[in-house]
Structure 1
Amino acid sequence: MHLVAATEEQMVQRDALTYSEWGKLLSPEEYATREKRLRAHPWSRSGMRTWLLCAGDGGVLASCETFRTGSFLRTDGGSLVPGDSFAIASVFTEERLRGHGYATRLMDLLATELELQPRTHAAILFSDVGPRIYARSGYQALPAWDWHLSPTPGDPAGPVDSLLREDGLATALGRLRHPDVPFFFWPTPAQLDWHLERGRIYARHLGCSLPASAGATAGASTILWGLVGRSPELTVLMLDARSTSEAWALLEAARREASRSGLSRVVLWEEPSHAPLLPLLKGGGTTRVARDGSLPMVRPLRPGVPVPPLLPAPRGLWV
């Protein structure tokens, strides 16, 4: 068995096979169009590859995608060393080929390939099948809890200093504090816009409006959100709350934006930095639940890259 990078023709062939797994709400033709559109997005063009695990005769046994994403390693002196990490998505084995360990072999060979990259730090994935399969290949699971907030009527701009537009993602991302941990992943504005592109694709299928804003600021605090997938939800992509009062204002604005856009709820992925906010989140139309799928798992790709037990994995990193 060996690993190869897929051609465009091979990617299209895999699209036809993966439709049954990830084509919810779409026809096969619409799903094929979705995949081409997402691959054409600037973030994908800059660092996405599809990988195939092939048998000796060239037959494809399993496949996955990788997206180059930013990361930082903190030195003992506190300075940040930028590098490249890789988000892994769409790990797929045809049903007739399952049970032979091909996905594990794919992940092992892929790690060996990614370790050769000159600035490599780590790989991250979001498992929908639990931790066991990927733990075989050295991936460590992180905690995965969600907060669901009910929509609230009102003007989203009311409780905050300003609402953010999609064209202001770069400025907004620059306001966010880097996590105070020895290693962390960090998205780019193009990566966050890739999430919003998914929402642009799905909005008409969900019967809702695209949010008119992409987030908000309150004091020194910032939140980024969007309709990002196959569910009519306002998903928080990044949240940097400097105080409880500012956190309340940002989340209240999110709830109002969800109501204005006809969305069913706000979804916030819990992060270690949110611990002071937990009393604020309890009650009042909010629920904490164990996440259904999308379990974050991380594997270092070079010696000296730690996986902190409280490593943040915001929704903006998901693929």
Structure 2
Amino acid sequence: MHLVPASDAQKLQLDALTYSEWGRLLTLEGYLSRELRLRAHPWARADMRTWLLCADDGAVLASCETFRTGSFQRAPGGALLPGDSFAIASVFTEERLRGHGHATRLMDLLAAELERQPRAHAALLFSDVGPRLYARSGYRELPAWDWHLAPSPGAPGETVDSLLRESDLGPALDRMRRPELPFFFWPTPTQLDWHLERGRIYVEHLGCSLPQSAGATVGGSTALWGLVGRSAELTVLMFDARSPAEAIALLEAARREAHRAGLSRVVLWEEPGNASLLPLVAGATRIARDGSLPMVRPLRPDVHPPALLPVPRGLWV
């Protein structure tokens, strides 16, 4: 067995095979169009690769995608040293080929390939099949809790200093505090826009509107959000609240934006930095996440992801 990058023709063949797994809400034609559109996004064009596990005769046994994402190590003096990490998505084996360990072999060969990258830090994935499969290849699971809030009527801008537009993603990220940790992941504005592109694709199928804002600021605090996928929800992609009052104000603005767009709820991923604030938000409900279990694997011996590594929703692929 060996690992090879997929050609454009092979990517199209994979799209047809994976429709049954990930094509919910879309026709086959719509799903194929979605995949082409997402691969054409600037972030995917620059940082996405599709990988094939092939038998000795060239037959494809399993496949996956990787997206390069930013990460940082903190030097002993506190300086941040940038590097590359890789988010892994769409791990797929045809049903007739399952049960033979192909996915595990794919993950092992992929890790060896990624370890050879000159700035490699770590690999990150979001498992929908529990931790066992990926633990075989050295991945460690992280906590996975969601917070849900019901939409609320009212003007979203009334509780905050400003509402953000899609063009504000870069300045908004610059406002946010980096984690005070020896290692962490950090997305780019283009990476976050890839999530918003998913919402642009799905909105016509969901019976709702695209949110008019992409986030908000209040005091020193910032949140970024959007309609980002197959559910009519306002998803918080990044959240940096400096106080309980500012956390409440940001999430009230998100609730009002969800109501204005006709969305069913606001969803925020729990992180170490917001875990103590969210129970103070009236009406917020904590729920064990269904799928998208974050798992991380170092790609270098000097990279040590902490046990409570923050993984905001903006890192998901």
**2:74 paired with 1:74:** yes
Q: Hey, what's the Cα distance between the residues in 2 that align with 1:79 and 1:276?
A: 27
Gaps of 5+ in 2: none
Aligned residue in 1 for 2:155: 155
TM-score normalised to structure 1 length: 0.99
Which secondary structure does the structure 2 equivalent of 1:114 belong to?
helix
Q: Hey, what's the Cα distance between the residues in 1 that align with 2:170 and 2:275?
A: 26
Aligned residue in 2 for 1:117: 117
**2:288 paired with 1:290:** yes
Q: Hey, what's the Cα distance between the residues in 2 that align with 1:51 and 1:248?
A: 43
Q: CA deviation at 1:211?
A: 0.1
Q: Hey, what's the Cα distance between the residues in 1 that align with 2:278 and 2:284?
A: 11
Q: CA deviation at 1:258?
A: 0.3
Q: Deviation digits for residues 111-144 of structure 1, max 9, x if unmatched? A: 0000000000000000000000000000000000
Q: CA deviation at 1:276?
A: 2.5
Aligned residue in 1 for 2:316: 318
Instruction: For 1:49-88, list aligned pairs within 5 A.
Output: 49-88=49-88
Aligned residue in 1 for 2:19: 19
Which secondary structure does the structure 1 equivalent of 2:273 belong to?
helix
Q: Hey, what's the Cα distance between the residues in 1 that align with 2:260 and 2:150?
A: 12
Aligned residue in 1 for 2:185: 185
**2:290 paired with 1:276:** no
Aligned residue in 2 for 1:131: 131
RMSD between aligned alpha carbons? 0.6
Q: CA deviation at 1:77?
A: 1.0
Q: Hey, what's the Cα distance between the residues in 2 that align with 1:249 and 1:162?
A: 11
Q: Hey, what's the Cα distance between the residues in 2 that align with 1:22 and 1:302?
A: 32
Q: Deviation digits for residues 249-292 of structure 1, max 9, x if unmatched? A: 100000000000000000000000113303313xx432110000
Q: Hey, what's the Cα distance between the residues in 1 that align with 2:276 and 2:20?
A: 41
Q: Hey, what's the Cα distance between the residues in 1 that align with 2:45 and 2:275?
A: 36
How many residues align structurally? 317
Q: Output the amino acid matched with 2:234.
A: L
Q: Hey, what's the Cα distance between the residues in 1 that align with 2:146 and 2:52?
A: 33
| Runs of at least 4 residues off by over 2 Å | none
Q: Output the amino acid matched with 1:290.
A: A
Instruction: For 1:29-108, list aligned pairs within 5 A.
Output: 29-108=29-108
Identity of aligned residues (%): 77
Which secondary structure does the structure 2 equivalent of 1:275 belong to?
coil
Q: Hey, what's the Cα distance between the residues in 1 that align with 2:240 and 2:286?
A: 19
2:161 touches 2:217 (CA, 8 Å); kept in 1? yes
Q: Output the amino acid matched with 2:241.
A: A
Q: Deviation digits for residues 37-76 of structure 1, max 9, x if unmatched? A: 0000000011100000000110000000000000000111
Q: Output the amino acid matched with 2:82.
A: P
Q: Hey, what's the Cα distance between the residues in 2 that align with 1:24 and 1:197?
A: 17
Aligned residue in 2 for 1:307: 305
Q: Hey, what's the Cα distance between the residues in 1 that align with 2:85 and 2:311?
A: 13
Q: Hey, what's the Cα distance between the residues in 1 that align with 2:70 and 2:12?
A: 27
Instruction: For 1:184-203, list aligned pairs within 5 A.
Output: 184-203=184-203
Aligned residue in 2 for 1:143: 143
Which secondary structure does the structure 1 equivalent of 2:143 belong to?
coil
Gaps of 5+ in 1: none
Aligned residue in 2 for 1:230: 230
Q: Output the amino acid matched with 1:311.
A: L
Q: Output the amino acid matched with 2:108.
A: D
Q: Hey, what's the Cα distance between the residues in 2 that align with 1:273 and 1:223?
A: 13
Q: Hey, what's the Cα distance between the residues in 2 that align with 1:191 and 1:220?
A: 23
2:278 touches 2:284 (CA, 8 Å); kept in 1? no
Which secondary structure does the structure 1 equivalent of 2:159 belong to?
coil
Q: Output the amino acid matched with 1:127.
A: S
Q: Output the amino acid matched with 1:300.
A: P
Q: Hey, what's the Cα distance between the residues in 2 that align with 1:17 and 1:71?
A: 32
Q: Output the amino acid matched with 1:316.
A: G
Which secondary structure does the structure 2 equivalent of 1:305 belong to?
coil
